[in-house]
Amino acid sequence: MMKLVKSLALGAAMAFAMGVAPAMAAKDMVTVGLQLEPPHLDPTSAAAGAIDQVVYSNVFEGLTRFAADGSVIPGLAKSWEISDDGLTYTFMLHDGVTFHDGTTMDAEDVKFSLDRARGEKSANAQKPLYVGISAIDVVDPLTVKITLAKPNGAFLFNLAWGDAVIVAPESIEDIKTAPVGTGAFTFDRWLQGDSITLARNENYWGKPAALSGATFKFISDPSAAFAALMAEDIDVFANFPAPENLGQFEADPRFQVLVGQTEGETLLAINNKQPPFDNLKVRQALAYAIDPQSIIDGAMYGLGTPIGSHFAPHHPAYVDLTSNVSHDPQKAKALLAEAGYENGFTARLMLPPTAYARRGGEIIAAQLREVGVETEITNVEWAQWLEQAFRGKDYDLTIISHTEPLDIGIYARPEYYFQYGNAAFNGVIAELDVTSDPQKRTALLQQAQRLLAEDQVNVFLFQLANPVVARTGIEGLWKDAPTQAVDLTGVSWTK
Amino acid sequence: MLRYALKRLISLAVSLLVASVIIFIAVEIVPGDPASYMLGLNAQPDTVAQLREELGLNVSPVERYVSWVWGMVQGDFGTSYTYRTPVAEMIWQRGQVSLPLALFALLISTAIAIPLGVIAAGRRGTGVDVGLSTATQFGIAVPNFWLGIMMVLLFSVSLQWFSAGGFPGWQAGFWLALKSLVLPAIALAVPQAAILTRIMRSSLLDTLGEDFMRTARAKGLSRNQALWRHAFRNALIPVLTIIGLQFSFLIAGGIIIEQVFYLPGLGRLVLQSINARDLIVVESVVMVLVFAVIVVNFAVDLAYAAVDPRLRRRV
C-alpha cells in the first residue's frame, strides 16, 4: 500500500514536471513573447522600445498616458488646467496613489522625475522633449505647477511618453533591475536572457488588473517565435516577426491575429547633402523608380500602408500624399537625364538588420537598377548604423523605420542625418511648437507634410504594421501601437 | 615535476594575456558606441556624452584595457554597460545554462558514440558497419540548428511533449530545468556523436591491427575478449582528444542552438552584447571561454595519463 502511495505521489510529481498541472489551473496569467529583451527596466534612461514594451502602463505611469487609439488621456494626473498664455500647466494628482514599495506618490515625486529628465545630468533619451520646462513647483502634495519657457502644443503628448513616467527618489537607485512604479503590476523577477515576470498590484489606486500576473519571454529568432506559439508555450506575441506565418495562425482556431498600425514611418532615407542627392530631380527620380506597394508585398507579405510623407496615416492630421508620385521608371529616367545623369550612377545602400530593411533593400536595388542607378549594398548591425549613418552621416541611402510617435519635427533639427535644412520647413515646425490650438496645429502639420513631400526629402515607403498573434479568448490587447507598449492592464481571458 | 607544473602555469598565463590583448583589440575596432545605441534616434549629442561619461567610456582604450585586466586578476569583471549589473554575475547565471547543456550534450554523444564505434569496428565490413557508416555520414552532414528546428516541430509543435524553448531556471526544479535542455542537448549531440563514432571505430580498428592484439588472440582469447581487455583502452586516447575538443566547441558553439531554443546561455549573451556594443561583457565572456578551453585541454592531458600509464612516466 505504501508503495502504491509512493508511486502515485511520484506520478503526480512527474505530471507536474511535465507541465500538466499548470494547464488545469484557471487562466488568469498570460505569457507574452517579445523579440528583444530590454537591457534594463528604466524607461527614463534609454531609447530601447523593449523597456517600454514591458513596463509602460504596466509598471510605470506618467501624468498623462496613451490610450489604445493613440489619444492622450489622464494618467496619474486626474485633471489639469492650462493658463491662457499656454505657459503654465497645473496638474491635479490622484489621491492615494502609492508606489509598489509602499511610499506615497505626490507632487514631490513628479518634480523629482521631471527634473531628472530635463536636468543637466539627464541621460533621458527624449531629453529634447522636456528641456522646454523652465520650472516645476509643488503647490501642495496633490498639485504641481509646471511652467514652460515657451508654449508647447505637444506638451501633454510628450508627458505621455514612457520617458516621462513618474519615479520615486527612494527607489531610483535600483530602478534598472528592480523597478518600482505606481502601475497595476509590480515587478516580480527577471531571469536574464529568458523572461521577466510581473504580478498584479493588489494595492493599485485605479481599476485593478484582471490578470493575476504576466510573463514576458524573449525570443529573438522568428522561427523559434513561431514554434513557441504553436507549441502553446506563449499566449501572445507582440509585433510578431515572421509575417510569412500569419496566414497559418489565421487559419488555426487556437489563434487570433490582430494587424494594427505602429508609429513607424519606413523610409528610404537619403543623404540630402551628398551629391547627386542634393539635386531635387535625383531624389524625385528615386521616388518614381521605387514602387512602395511591391516592397510591402514582397518584403512584408502585404503588411503595411503606403505613405506619401513622414506622417502616420491613422493620425487625424494626416494628408494623403501617396498619389504625388507614382511608380514610373520612364519618368524616373527622364528626371535623371534632366539632372545630367542619363547614364545613371552608383550609390551606396546601407541596410540595418531588420527584415523590412534587408528584404526591402533587395527589391529597391532591383528597381533602381531598372532606371540605371546601381547600388552597393552594405549590411550593418544597429550599432554600426548608428555610428556611421546616424552620427557620422556617412551614407548615401539607407532603409529605416522611425518609430517615435509624431516625430515630423526631426526634419527641422540641425545636423540631423537626412541633412535636409529647409528654412521654410523649420519655420513651420517652430510655429507648431508654440501653437496649442488644435485646428491651427492640424493646418501646420499638414503644411509640414506637404513640404517634405514636395522636397522629396526621403522616399516615403510605408507605415510599419503591428501584427499581434494571440490565443483565442484573450481580450483587451492593443491592436495599434501608439507607443511601443504591451499594455496588459485591460487584458483578460474570456470566461 | 614542480618545474613542469610551473612551466605550464607560465604558458597558461601568457596564453591568457595574449588572448586578452587580441580580444580587446578585436572588440574595440568594431564601429559602434554603446551609449548611442542605448539612446536611439531622438537623443541629443550632449545626452550621449553624458551617458558615455557615466559609463566610464571617456577614458583612453589603454586605460580601459589595463583596468579591465587588473579587475579580472582580482576576480572583478566590471559592470555591463547596458544591463548595469556585474559581468561576473551575468556569466555565472548564463554559465548555469551553457555548462550543463554542454555536459549533457557531451554525455549523450559519448553514450551513443562509444558503443556504436565499438560495434562498427567489431563487425567491420558487415551490413551493420556499412549501415552505421552511412548513418554517421548523415549525422555529420546535418546542421545542428536544422535538427533543432525539426525536433521542435515534431516534439513541441505536433506532439507537445516538450516546450519549444526557454529555460525555467534551476530553482524551478531540477527535472523541469533538465527537461528544457533535452532537445537542445540532443541537437548539439547528434553531429558530435557521429564524428566520435567514426573516430572510435577507426581508432579501434588501428589498435586491433597491432602486434599485441595478435599475441592476445594467440594466447587463446576470443575476439571479443581481446577487444575489451586489450584494444579498447588503447583505442580511447584519440577519442579523449576529440571529446576534449568537442567540449570546448560545445561551450562556445552552443550559440546557434541557444538562439533556436531561446536559452539564456553564454552564447546568447555574447550575441546580445555584440549587438548592443556592450563591449565589456563581450570581452569578459570571450575571455572566460578562452580560459575554459585552456582548462579543458589541461584536463584532457591529465585524462591521457589516467588511461595510459606510459604517459604518466613521461610527465
* Rounded CA separation A43/B106 (Å): 42
Read off the C-alpha cell for B127.
551490413
Q: What is the CATH number of the domain that holds A320?
A: 3.10.105.10
Task: Report yes or no: B57 at the A interface, CB cutoff 8 Å.
Answer: no
Average pLDDT value for residue range A274-295? 94
Tell if the CB–CB gap between B83 and A40 is shorter than 8 Å. Answer: yes
Task: Report yes or no: B47 at the A interface, CB cutoff 8 Å.
Answer: yes
pLDDT tens for A237-257 read: 998 988 889 999 999 999 999
ipTM associated with this complex? 0.80
Average pLDDT value for residue range A320-347? 92
- Which of A289, A377, A273, A275 shows the shortest CA–CA distance to A334? A289
pLDDT cut 90: percent of chain A above it = 71
**pLDDT, averaged across chain B:** 85
pLDDT at B106: 93
pLDDT band of B312, cuts 50, 70, 90: low
What phi-psi label fits residue A481: left (phi over 0), alpha (psi between -120 and 50 degrees) or beta? beta
The answer to whether A164 touches A63, Cβ cutoff 8 Å, is yes
Q: Please indicate, yes or no, if residue A251 is contained in any of the structural domains.
A: no
From B157's Cα to the closest Cα of chain A, the distance in A is 4
SS3 assignment, position B254:
coil
From B151's Cα to the closest Cα of chain A, the distance in A is 11
Torsion sign over Cα B23, B28, B32, B36: positive
CB < 8 Å to A121, chain B: 50
Average pLDDT value for residue range A451-463? 95
B227 bridge partner residues: none
When CB atoms are compared, the residue of B167, B269, B275 closest to A381 is B275
Q: Which range among A277-291, A447-461, B43-57, B184-198 shows the weakest confidence by mean pLDDT?
A: B43-57
Mutation for testing the B interface, residue in A161, A174, A192, A417 having most B CBs under 10 Å = A192
Closest-CA residue of chain A to B165: A228
pLDDT at B313: 59
* Residue appearing with cell numbers 554523444: B109
| A447 shares a domain with A322 | yes
3-class SS string, A6-59? HHHHHHHHHHHHCCHHHHHCCCCEEEEEECCCCCCCCHHHCCCHHHHHHHECCC
* Rounded CA separation A452/A411 (Å): 8
pLDDT at B2: 64
Tell if the CB–CB gap between A48 and B277 is shorter than 8 Å. Answer: no
Q: What is the CATH number of domain B91-314?
A: 1.10.3720.10
Q: Please indicate, yes or no, if residue A51 is contained in any of the structural domains.
A: no
Sorted by where each begins, the domain ranges of chain B are 32-76, 91-314
Q: Give exposure, A142-170, as e/b (b: 16+ Cβ within 10 Å).
A: bbbbbebeebbbbbbbbbbbbbbbbbbee
Average pLDDT value for residue range A414-436? 90
> How many C-alpha atoms does A95 have within 13 Å on its Cβ side?
1
Per-residue DSSP letter, A324:
G
The answer to whether A329 touches A289, Cβ cutoff 8 Å, is yes
Average pLDDT value for residue range A173-189? 93
Tell if the CB–CB gap between A123 and B39 is shorter than 8 Å. Answer: yes
Q: Residue A149 sits in which domain range?
A: 64-168
Q: What is the CATH number of the domain that holds A160?
A: 3.90.76.10
Tell if the CB–CB gap between A17 and B175 is shorter than 8 Å. Answer: yes
Q: Please indicate, yes or no, if residue A473 is contained in any of the structural domains.
A: no
- Which of A435, A434, A428 shows the shortest CA–CA distance to A450? A428
Judged against a pLDDT cut of 90, whether residue A116 lies above it is answered with: yes
Read off the C-alpha cell for B195.
564524428
Peptide bond preceding B61 in cis form (omega within 30 of 0) = no
From B106's Cα to the closest Cα of chain A, the distance in A is 23
Tell if the CB–CB gap between B167 and A194 is shorter than 8 Å. Answer: yes
pLDDT tens for B240-266 read: 888 888 887 887 768 889 988 999 998
- Which of B146, B255, B252, B236 shows the shortest CA–CA distance to B191? B146
pLDDT band of B300, cuts 50, 70, 90: confident
* Rounded CA separation A201/A484 (Å): 22
pLDDT tens for A346-369 read: 999 999 988 899 999 999 999 999
- Which of B251, B247, B259 shows the shortest CA–CA distance to B286? B251
pLDDT at A5: 43
pLDDT at A20: 41
Q: Give exposure, A108-126, as e/b (b: 16+ Cβ within 10 Å).
A: ebbbbbbebbbeeebbbbb
Torsion sign over Cα B276, B278, B284, B287: positive
Helices B174-208 + B87-122 axis angle, to 10: 40
Closest-CA residue of chain B to A119: B47
The answer to whether B277 touches B32, Cβ cutoff 8 Å, is yes
Tell if the CB–CB gap between B164 and A230 is shorter than 8 Å. Answer: yes
Q: Please indicate, yes or no, if residue A109 is contained in any of the structural domains.
A: yes
pLDDT band of A23, cuts 50, 70, 90: very low
Rg of the Cα atoms in chain B: 24
Task: Report yes or no: B238 at the A interface, CB cutoff 8 Å.
Answer: no
pLDDT at B277: 85
Tell if the CB–CB gap between A227 and B269 is shorter than 8 Å. Answer: no
When CB atoms are compared, the residue of B37, B90, B93 closest to A383 is B37
From B124's Cα to the closest Cα of chain A, the distance in A is 42
Judged against a pLDDT cut of 50, whether residue A102 lies above it is answered with: yes
pLDDT at A157: 92
Task: Report yes or no: B28 at the A interface, CB cutoff 8 Å.
Answer: no
Judged against a pLDDT cut of 90, whether residue A461 lies above it is answered with: yes
Q: Give exposure, B277-302, as e/b (b: 16+ Cβ within 10 Å).
A: bbbbbbbbbbbbbbebbbebeeebee
pLDDT at B74: 87
When CB atoms are compared, the residue of B82, B152, B272 closest to A227 is B152
Tell if the CB–CB gap between B163 and A233 is shorter than 8 Å. Answer: yes
pLDDT at B1: 54
Q: How far is CA B14 from CA A116, B17, B21, in A?
A: 47, 5, 11
pLDDT at A3: 44
Closest-CA residue of chain A to B174: A17
Task: Report yes or no: B241 at the A interface, CB cutoff 8 Å.
Answer: no
Q: Determine the residue type at B104.
A: F
Among B residues 138-167, those touching chain A with beta carbons less than 8 Å apart:
149, 152-153, 156-157, 160, 162-167
Average pLDDT value for residue range B117-134? 88
From A141's Cα to the closest Cα of chain B, the distance in A is 31
SS3 assignment, position A293:
helix
Read off the C-alpha cell for B289.
571561454
First vs last C-alpha separation in chain A: 41
pLDDT band of B297, cuts 50, 70, 90: confident
What phi-psi label fits residue A400: left (phi over 0), alpha (psi between -120 and 50 degrees) or beta? beta
pLDDT tens for B269-291 read: 888 888 888 888 998 988 888 88
pLDDT at A4: 43
The answer to whether B198 touches B118, Cβ cutoff 8 Å, is no
When CB atoms are compared, the residue of A127, A218, A219 closest to B44 is A127
pLDDT band of A370, cuts 50, 70, 90: very high
CB < 8 Å to A46, chain B: 38-40, 82
pLDDT band of B235, cuts 50, 70, 90: confident
pLDDT at B259: 87
> How many C-alpha atoms does B109 have within 13 Å on its Cβ side?
35
Tell if the CB–CB gap between B149 and A223 is shorter than 8 Å. Answer: yes
When CB atoms are compared, the residue of A37, A231, A391 closest to B272 is A37
CB < 8 Å to B276, chain A: 39, 383
Average pLDDT value for residue range B102-108? 93
- State phi, psi for A88 to the nearest 5 degrees: -120, 125
Q: Which range among A162-176, A294-308, B27-41, B193-207 shows the weakest confidence by mean pLDDT?
A: B27-41
Q: Determine the residue type at A178.
A: A
Average pLDDT value for residue range A8-21? 43
CB < 8 Å to A386, chain B: 32-33, 36-37
- Where among A168, A199, A226 does a domain terminate? A168
Angle at A279 between CA A276 and CA A282, to 5 degrees: 75
**pLDDT, averaged across chain A:** 89
Stretch (H or E) spanning A166: none
| A138 shares a domain with A271 | no
pLDDT at A50: 87
Average pLDDT value for residue range A154-163? 92
Read off the C-alpha cell for B262.
531561446
Average pLDDT value for residue range A36-40? 87
3-class SS string, A189-256? EEECCCEEEEEECCCCCCCCCCCCEEEEEECCCHHHHHHHHHCCCCCEECCCCCHHHHHHHHHCCCEE
Judged against a pLDDT cut of 50, whether residue A148 lies above it is answered with: yes
Q: Give exposure, A335-358, as e/b (b: 16+ Cβ within 10 Å).
A: bbeebebeebbebbbbbbebebbe
pLDDT at A408: 93
| A426 shares a domain with A315 | yes
Q: Which range among A139-148, B137-146, B241-250 shows the weakest confidence by mean pLDDT?
A: B241-250
In A364-414, the DSSP E strands lie at 373-379, 397-402
Tell if the CB–CB gap between A387 and B36 is shorter than 8 Å. Answer: yes
Q: Please indicate, yes or no, if residue A435 is contained in any of the structural domains.
A: yes
CB < 8 Å to A405, chain B: none
* Rounded CA separation A272/A222 (Å): 35
Average pLDDT value for residue range A405-424? 90
Q: Are strands A143-148 and A72-74 parallel, antiparallel or unpaired?
A: unpaired
pLDDT tens for A73-101 read: 999 999 999 998 889 999 999 999 999 99
Question: How many domains does one find in chain A?
Answer: 2
Rg of the Cα atoms in chain A: 25
Among B residues 87-116, those touching chain A with beta carbons less than 8 Å apart:
90, 93-94, 97
Cα dihedral A51, A55, A60, A64 in deg (nearest 10): 80
Average pLDDT value for residue range A376-394? 88
CB < 8 Å to A127, chain B: 43-44, 47
Tell if the CB–CB gap between B41 and A47 is shorter than 8 Å. Answer: yes
The answer to whether A188 touches A59, Cβ cutoff 8 Å, is no
pLDDT at B46: 80
- State phi, psi for A191 to the nearest 5 degrees: -90, 100
* Rounded CA separation A333/B52 (Å): 47
* Rounded CA separation A275/A282 (Å): 9
Between A91 and B309, the more confident residue is A91
Judged against a pLDDT cut of 50, whether residue A18 lies above it is answered with: no
* Rounded CA separation A79/A67 (Å): 16
B205, with CB counted inside 10 A (0-12, 13-18, 19+), is middle
* Rounded CA separation A486/A217 (Å): 13
When CB atoms are compared, the residue of B41, B153, B160 closest to A390 is B41
Q: What is the pTM of this model?
A: 0.84
Judged against a pLDDT cut of 50, whether residue B33 lies above it is answered with: yes
Tell if the CB–CB gap between A122 and B50 is shorter than 8 Å. Answer: yes
Judged against a pLDDT cut of 80, whether residue B309 lies above it is answered with: no
When CB atoms are compared, the residue of B39, B166, B278 closest to A194 is B166
Q: How far is CA B75 from CA A482, B89, B97, B240, B284, in A?
A: 46, 11, 21, 31, 11
Read off the C-alpha cell for A218.
524573449
